[in-house]
Structure 1
C-alpha cells in the first residue's frame, strides 16, 4: 500500500477538524445551502461537518484512498457529498458546477511543481467560483521557514490511537524547493510500524502567492496568520487567505 493509502486510515487522528478552520470557511461561504468545493479534501472531515451544517458539498482529492474515505464517512453519516478523484490542475475539466466558496487548506497548494502551476490552479478555481464567491487557502508560512532556516514542523502525537507523525524540512536554495520528509508511526501494544515518505514542496512566499492570486483574476484578498483572523507577519505559523 502507498504511503498516502496508509495515512488515509489514520488521517483523522493526525489532522482532526478544527473549529477555527470550520468557522472561517463558514464565514466565507455565507448561509447554509450554498455550494462549497473542498479541494485536496483528504479524508473529508471538513466536508462532512459542512454537509451536516447544511452546505452542498463537493470534495476532490488526487488520492483514491482519500476519496473512498470521504464516501464511506458520508454514507455512515447519511450525508450526500459529491466526492471524486481530481487533480487541482484539472478542476475546470472535471468540475461542472459553480460554487459560493472553495477552500484548499492543509498545505496542499505547495505540492504543485512551480508558481505557474499554482497560478493556473488558482485561475481554474476563480473560473468555477460564483461571481461573488470566496476562496480560502492555507499553507505553512514559508517566509518564516526560510527566514529562520527551520528544519521541520512540530511532531503530531495522538496517544489515544497510538499515532505519531514526524515532519522534517530540508530547504534546497539552489532549486528553491523543500524536501518534506515524514514518518508515520503506528503503535499497537508492543508492536510498532513505521511508514516513511519524502515529497518535494514549493516554498511559496506570501509575495509569490499575492502575484499568483492577481494573475488568477482575484481583485481583493486578505492575508492572516491563522484561522482566528490574526494579522499576518513573517513570524506567523501559517498563511491563511480569503480572496474574491
Structure 2
C-alpha cells in the first residue's frame, strides 16, 4: 500500500525547519496560557496528540504535569525521549496513529496543536480522531485543538513563499483546492548543494465544519479563540483554537 503524504513528510529535515529554536521558545511561552485556557489543576494528566519532538510536552512536564506524547514519526519520538531524559523529565512517548489512541478514560486534557489536524483524505478519519480523543478523556476532561484559521489563510493566500532557516532555504509552492477544501503544497528544501522535495496535502476546516465534527464526536465546545492565549477569534486571526469537554457518548 502506498504511503500517505504525512508518512513521508515528517523526517529529520522537516523537523529542523518546523521545530527550530524560536519555535521551541514560542511553545514554552504559550504553555501558561494553554494551561489557563484548559483550567488544569496541578499534576493533571495530559495527552499531547501529534507531539512531534516534544515542543509542548516537555515544557508542560517541567510545570509539573503528567504528560504522555503520541506521534507517528519515530525520528521525532527519539528526539523527544532524548530531550526529556537530558532534562530529567518522566514523559511517556508513544508511537501510534491518532485514529487509534491506545488509552481510555485516562486524561484530564488532550491537546492537538500547531495544525496537527486535517492530515487525512477522508473526513470520516478526522471524525475518528475526535472520537478517539473523546474515548481517551476522563469524564469532564477537556480537549484543545489549535490550527490555522482557514478564512485568514484564504484572504492572505500566497502561491509561492521563500523561507530562510538556519542552514536551510525552503521554497513553498501552494495551491488551494476549494472543491476539497485542501491546501496542496510542495516544499523544495535547499541545504548547501543538497536538494529535497516534500509534498503536503492539508484539509482546512471552516469553524462551522469543526463545530459539527466536535458535536458528532460527543465533544461539547466551550469556546473558540484566535489562538492559545484565548484572544477573540476573528477573520483576521491567523489561528483558531477550539476548547471542548467530553460530553455524552458519540
- From the superposition, tell whether residues 140 and 221 of structure 1 become closer, same or farther in structure 2 (CA, over 3 Å): same
> What is the RMSD computed on CA atoms of the aligned residues?
2.3
**Match for residue 16 of structure 1 among 7, 13, 24:** 24
**Match for residue 177 of structure 1 among 167, 176, 182:** 182
Q: Name the SS for the 1:109 alignment partner.
A: coil
**Match for residue 60 of structure 1 among 65, 70, 84:** 70
- From the superposition, tell whether residues 120 and 154 of structure 1 become closer, same or farther in structure 2 (CA, over 3 Å): same
Residue 151 of structure 1: how far off its partner (Å): 2.8
Residue 152 of structure 1: how far off its partner (Å): 5.4
TM-score, normalised with respect to structure 1: 0.86
- From the superposition, tell whether residues 117 and 224 of structure 1 become closer, same or farther in structure 2 (CA, over 3 Å): same
Greater CA drift, 58-67 or 172-181: 172-181
Mapping for residues 40-189 of structure 1, pairs under 5 Å:
40-91=50-101, 94-95=102-103, 98-146=106-154, 148=155, 150-151=157-158, 156-158=163-165, 161-186=166-191
Matches of 1:207 and 1:112, distance apart in 2: 19
- From the superposition, tell whether residues 22 and 221 of structure 1 become closer, same or farther in structure 2 (CA, over 3 Å): same
Residue 234 of structure 1: how far off its partner (Å): 2.1
Matches of 1:48 and 1:172, distance apart in 2: 36
Residue 5 of structure 1: how far off its partner (Å): 1.9
State yes or no: 1:4 paired with 2:10. Answer: yes
Matches of 1:182 and 1:114, distance apart in 2: 23
Mapping for residues 192-231 of structure 1, pairs under 5 Å:
192-231=193-232
Q: Name the SS for the 2:83 alignment partner.
A: helix
Residue 226 of structure 1: how far off its partner (Å): 1.8
Greater CA drift, 73-82 or 16-25: 16-25
- From the superposition, tell whether residues 105 and 185 of structure 1 become closer, same or farther in structure 2 (CA, over 3 Å): farther
Residue 219 of structure 1: how far off its partner (Å): 2.1
Q: Where in structure 2 are there 5+ consecutive unaligned residues? A: 1-7, 246-250
- From the superposition, tell whether residues 243 and 185 of structure 1 become closer, same or farther in structure 2 (CA, over 3 Å): farther
How many corresponding residue pairs?
234
